[in-house]
Amino acid sequence: MLSSSDCRGDGVSMITSVANSGNYLRAAQPSPSRMIFTTADAQPAPDAGAAEKYAQPGIPVSSLKAVDVSQLKIISVKDNPELRDLMATNWLKMRADEATFAASVPDNAPQNIYATVEVEGKVVATLYNAGSVAMTNEAGGKVGVLQDPPGLGGPDLAQWRAERIAKVVGGTIERAPTAIAQSEWKPRESTSSNYSRAQLDAAFDAMMAEQSKAAVQRSASYQAPRETSSGHTDFNA
């Protein structure tokens, strides 16, 4: 049997108890030490010259002058001939493109198919009379970028591309019933940008009228009263 005793050494007290009680000898934890900062540990003060430099203002308020708005003049787009004609030209081009697209059949329409390239009975590429082509991802990965001969277009371009694709993928070319000859192909007409003075003036007036109408419609939609729900929810069981 052990007797309790006090052991004092290095500031640590040992506590013992009877061995048969099942307790073990444990050293008491010393109190955590404190960290003491001195003036030597403080961050050094910034250089006095640098502090003065950054403290200087960029522009003194006393040097600011008010702008005399009475001398400003609002210039309308109508008073800028170059800008007015540029806006009118772009408006005419946009309308011409929209009309052409609405009246014509797209190049990749089914009735414009020139030929197909097939591999084991599966279509991997479709060529159109204008020369454009659509391929599967697998076929496109094998073919890569087609280096078209300069000046080639229409059915001749479609035929050239079909032959190159078929050679790379190991397929066969099936000419479509909708294929046309090169002499039958008519390239799309490019939109002319040479407009007369009367056309530009009429286009600008029409553009301004459209913008004014759209602004009125937006304003009306903002001012329209919103319907509120008059329903209620009954929470009673």
pTM: 0.44
Which pLDDT does position 191 carry in this prediction? 61
Measured between alpha carbons, how far is 14 from 5 in angstroms, rounded to an integer? 8
Listed residue (85, 90, 115, 88) closest to 179, CA to CA: 115
In a domain, 130, yes or no: yes
**pLDDT tens for each residue of 35-83:** 555 555 555 555 656 556 556 667 777 777 887 777 777 777 777 888 8
In a domain, 192, yes or no: no
Which residue spans within the chain are E strands per DSSP? 7-9, 12-15, 26-27, 113-119, 122-128, 133-135, 172-175
* Sign of torsion over alpha carbons 101, 106, 111, 112: positive
Report the Cα 123 to chain-centroid distance in Å. 34
Measured between alpha carbons, how far is 82 from 32 in angstroms, rounded to an integer? 82
In a domain, 136, yes or no: yes
Per DSSP bridges, beta strands 172-175 and 113-119 are antiparallel
> Residue 174 forms beta bridges with which residues?
116
Q: Measured between alpha carbons, how far is residue 99 from residues 96, 103, 211 in Å?
A: 5, 6, 20
**Single-letter amino acid, residue 60:** P
Lowest mean pLDDT segment, chosen from 11-20, 86-95, 117-126:
11-20
pLDDT at 118 over 60: yes
* pLDDT band with cut points at 50, 70 and 90 for residue 194: confident
Measured between alpha carbons, how far is 34 from 127 in angstroms, rounded to an integer? 84
Here the tokens at position 62 are 């006393």
pLDDT at 1 over 80: no
What spatial distance separates the first Cα and last Cα of the chain, rounded to whole Å?
74
Tokens 């080639």 locate to: 152
Q: Which residue has the higher pLDDT, 234 or 145?
A: 145
In a domain, 213, yes or no: no
**pLDDT tens for each residue of 166-175:** 999 999 999 9
* Sign of torsion over alpha carbons 119, 125, 130, 131: negative
* pLDDT band with cut points at 50, 70 and 90 for residue 182: very high
Q: Which residue has the higher pLDDT, 70 or 119?
A: 119
Measured between alpha carbons, how far is 90 from 97 in angstroms, rounded to an integer? 11
Number of separate domains in the chain = 1
H-helix or E-strand containing 126?
A: strand 122-128
In a domain, 231, yes or no: no
Task: For the chain, give the mean pLDDT.
Answer: 76
In a domain, 100, yes or no: no
Lowest mean pLDDT segment, chosen from 23-37, 86-100, 158-172, 183-197:
23-37
135 is in which domain, residue-wise? Answer: 110-182
In a domain, 164, yes or no: yes
In a domain, 198, yes or no: no
